[in-house]
Amino acid sequence: MKAYIFPGQGAQFVGMGKDLYDASPVAKALFEEADAVLGFSLSTIMFTGTDEDLRQTNVTQPAIFVHSVIKAKLAADFAPNVVAGHSLGEFSALVAAGALSFADGLRLVQQRANAMQAACEAQPSTMAAVLGLEDSVVEEVCATITEGVVVPANYNCPGQLVISGSVPGVEAACVALKAAGAKRALMLQVGGAFHSPLMEPARTQLAAAIEATTFAAPICPIIQNVNAKAETDIPTIKANLIAQLTAPVRWTQSVLTMGEMGITEFVECGPGNVLQGLVKKTIKEAITSAA
């Protein structure tokens, strides 16, 4: 059985998608549609922009979404038993599975990115990667921090968890986590505290947009970040998408759920191969590939 998986923010690179645009009329049409929906030339930034241009949240998220969806649409034998996406990738997965149109998915991603950017600018915040500790230890340490907000944000694979929150909270947690035995607790170069309570203003904005968007039944279940469960019910999918902005990404648990469902092959659709690596660290015998 096969899962198609879709990456989140951080997988972008300058030049991404240019090969697809040049080789495929389908890809070219989707890039042109994306530029029209967004109201700016995303394709130009993706193909020939600077790293700095591409790092802006309101560019990064649409860029990865568009690239990932095109990869899925160009896959010769796209017949998933299940789909899943890491954070932003959940929107790509829903479009690939037919639950959202390309244009509607892109509009939601643009609104999500703009809302998250605004929340980041409203309050200085950050994230940090923690390596070499059990998830439960990281959770316990975060719960003891009194200097500010800090919560587990991305459960990426066993021994790798990203925390998120206010700058003082994350800094204090890093000190405490190193004392608790973490191999590394490394501050990340990110725009803000994604998947934390500090994203509440963005969650409120995105909720209205998601509720106003028409969803269809997906062609297969989607494993959602919030609960790591297979979902096909549209109201549940919408509620989980809304909750995702302030809740942790349970990717480790999602991969384990797919394994329990009998998934043995994981195909990554999008730039890079980060998710393939996380899958292999979670299920060693998994077969991974790129679309």
Q: Indicate which residue of 43, 166, 195, 196 is catalytic.
A: 195
Angle of helix 251-260 versus helix 274-282 axis, rounded to 10: 60
Spell 71-93 as b/e; 16+ CB within 10 A means b: bbbbeeebebbbbbbbbbbbbbb
Fold topology of 2-121+197-290: Malonyl-Coenzyme A Acyl Carrier Protein; domain 2 (3.40.366)
**pLDDT tens digits, one per residue of 78-117:** 999 999 999 999 999 999 999 999 999 999 999 999 999 9
What CA–CA distance (Å, rounded) separates 23 from 157? 35
**pLDDT tens digits, one per residue of 144-174:** 999 999 999 999 999 999 999 999 999 999 9
**100 Cβ neighbours under 8 A, 6+ residues apart:** 91, 94, 108, 213, 215, 216
- Indicate if 195 belongs to the active site: yes
pLDDT of amino acid 21: 96
Binning pLDDT at 50, 70 and 90, where does residue 11 land? confident
Binning pLDDT at 50, 70 and 90, where does residue 66 land? very high
**pLDDT tens digits, one per residue of 16-51:** 999 999 999 999 999 999 999 999 999 999 999 999
pLDDT of amino acid 193: 93
Strands 125-131, 160-166: pairing kind: antiparallel
Check pLDDT > 90 for residue 235.
Answer: yes
* Mean pLDDT (whole number) for 193-213: 95
CATH 3.30.70.250 domain span(s) along the chain:
123-187
**Residue 24 phi, psi (nearest 5):** -130, 125
CATH 3.40.366.10 domain span(s) along the chain:
2-121+197-290
Q: Indicate which residue of 87, 164, 166, 254 is catalytic.
A: 87
pLDDT of amino acid 271: 94
Fold topology of 123-187: Alpha-Beta Plaits (3.30.70)
